[in-house]
Structure 1
Amino acid sequence: MSSTVSPLQPCLHPIYARLLCAALCQRGFDEAQILLGTGLDWAQLHSDNRSLNFAQVQRLVRRAVQLTDCPWLGLQVGCATQVSAHGPVGYAALACADLRGVLQVLERFSVLRLSSLRLTGYLEGERYCVRADEEFDLGDVREHILATIAGTFLRLLEAVCGTLPVGELRFTFPFAEPAWGARYRELLGPGVDFAADCYSVSLPLAWLDRPSLSADPQAARIALRDCEHQLLGVREGGDWTTRVQLRLLACEGRYPTLGQLADEYHLSERTLIRRLRDEGGNYQQLLDEVRQELACWLLLNTPLSVEAVAERLGYQDTSNFSRTFRRWLGMTPNAWRNGQLAVPAP
Structure 2
Amino acid sequence: MSSTVSPLQPCLHPIYARLLCAALRQRGFDEAQILAGTGLDWAQLHGDNRSLNFAQVQRLVRRAVQLTDCPWLGLQVGCATQVSAHGPVGYAALACADLRGVLQVLERFSVLRLSSLRLTGYLEGERYCVRADEEFDLGDVREHILATIAGTFLRLLEAVCGALPVGELRFTFPFAEPAWGAHYRELLGPGVEFAADCYSVSLPLAWLDRPSLSADPQAARIALRDCERQLLDVREGGDWTTRVQLRLLACEGRYPTLGQLADEYHLSERTLIRRLREEGGNYQQLLDEVRQELACWLLLNTPLSVEAVAERLGYQDTSNFSRTFRRWLGMTPNAWRNGQLAVPAP
Tell me the TM-score range normalised by the shorter chain.
over 0.9
Write the distance in 1 (CA, Å) between the matches of 2:293 and 2:232. 27
Matches within 5 A, 1:171-250: 171-250=171-250
**TM superposition shift of 1:70:** 0.3
Write the distance in 1 (CA, Å) between the matches of 2:13 and 2:270. 29
For residues 246-303 of structure 1, the C-alpha deviation after alignment (integer angstroms, 9 at most, x for no partner) is 0000001000000000000011111000000000000000000000000000000000
| SS at 2:19 equivalent | helix
**TM superposition shift of 1:49:** 0.3
Write the distance in 2 (CA, Å) between the matches of 1:3 and 1:97. 37
Write the distance in 2 (CA, Å) between the matches of 1:24 and 1:329. 21
Write the distance in 1 (CA, Å) between the matches of 2:36 and 2:144. 19
| SS at 2:345 equivalent | coil
Write the distance in 2 (CA, Å) between the matches of 1:48 and 1:301. 27
Write the distance in 2 (CA, Å) between the matches of 1:257 and 1:35. 32
Residue 290 (structure 2) pairs with residue 293 (structure 1): no
| SS at 1:121 equivalent | strand
Residue 12 (structure 2) pairs with residue 20 (structure 1): no
For residues 34-54 of structure 1, the C-alpha deviation after alignment (integer angstroms, 9 at most, x for no partner) is 001101001100000000000
> In the alignment, what sits opposite 1:74?
74
Write the distance in 2 (CA, Å) between the matches of 1:54 and 1:259. 29
> In the alignment, what sits opposite 1:275?
275
| SS at 1:246 equivalent | helix
Write the distance in 2 (CA, Å) between the matches of 1:43 and 1:266. 34
**TM superposition shift of 1:191:** 0.1
Write the distance in 2 (CA, Å) between the matches of 1:219 and 1:15. 22
**TM superposition shift of 1:145:** 0.1
**TM superposition shift of 1:15:** 0.1
**TM superposition shift of 1:86:** 0.2
Write the distance in 1 (CA, Å) between the matches of 2:224 and 2:180. 39
For residues 222-255 of structure 1, the C-alpha deviation after alignment (integer angstroms, 9 at most, x for no partner) is 0000000000000000000000000000001000
**TM superposition shift of 1:135:** 0.1
| SS at 2:171 equivalent | strand
Write the distance in 2 (CA, Å) between the matches of 1:197 and 1:258. 45
| SS at 1:185 equivalent | helix
**TM superposition shift of 1:319:** 0.4
**TM superposition shift of 1:100:** 0.2
| SS at 2:121 equivalent | strand
Residue 343 (structure 2) pairs with residue 340 (structure 1): no
Matches within 5 A, 1:117-196: 117-196=117-196
**TM superposition shift of 1:124:** 0.2
| SS at 1:46 equivalent | helix
For residues 17-49 of structure 1, the C-alpha deviation after alignment (integer angstroms, 9 at most, x for no partner) is 000000000000000110011010011000000
For residues 118-164 of structure 1, the C-alpha deviation after alignment (integer angstroms, 9 at most, x for no partner) is 00000000000000000000000000000000000000000000000
Instruction: Give the % identical residues.
Output: 97
Write the distance in 2 (CA, Å) between the matches of 1:138 and 1:153. 19
Write the distance in 2 (CA, Å) between the matches of 1:339 and 1:14. 25
| SS at 2:316 equivalent | coil
**TM superposition shift of 1:205:** 0.2
Q: How large is the RMSD of aligned CA atoms in angstroms?
A: 0.3
User: TM (normalized to structure 2)?
Assistant: 1.00
Matches within 5 A, 1:76-115: 76-115=76-115
Write the distance in 2 (CA, Å) between the matches of 1:145 and 1:25. 20
For residues 189-223 of structure 1, the C-alpha deviation after alignment (integer angstroms, 9 at most, x for no partner) is 00000000000000000000000000000000000
Kindly tell me the number of residue pairs found equivalent between the two proteins: 346
Write the distance in 2 (CA, Å) between the matches of 1:259 and 1:74. 43
| SS at 2:123 equivalent | strand
**TM superposition shift of 1:110:** 0.1
Bigger Cα displacement from structure 2, 334-343 vs 147-156: 334-343
For residues 294-336 of structure 1, the C-alpha deviation after alignment (integer angstroms, 9 at most, x for no partner) is 0000000000000000000000000000010011111100011
For residues 46-68 of structure 1, the C-alpha deviation after alignment (integer angstroms, 9 at most, x for no partner) is 00000000000000000000000
**TM superposition shift of 1:2:** 0.5
| SS at 1:201 equivalent | strand
For residues 84-105 of structure 1, the C-alpha deviation after alignment (integer angstroms, 9 at most, x for no partner) is 0000000000000000000000
Write the distance in 2 (CA, Å) between the matches of 1:240 and 1:31. 30
Write the distance in 2 (CA, Å) between the matches of 1:163 and 1:217. 23
| SS at 2:256 equivalent | coil
Write the distance in 1 (CA, Å) between the matches of 2:73 and 2:329. 26
Write the distance in 2 (CA, Å) between the matches of 1:264 and 1:183. 52
Write the distance in 2 (CA, Å) between the matches of 1:226 and 1:42. 28
User: TM (normalized to structure 1)?
Assistant: 1.00
**TM superposition shift of 1:12:** 0.1
Write the distance in 1 (CA, Å) between the matches of 2:77 and 2:328. 29
Write the distance in 2 (CA, Å) between the matches of 1:188 and 1:123. 22
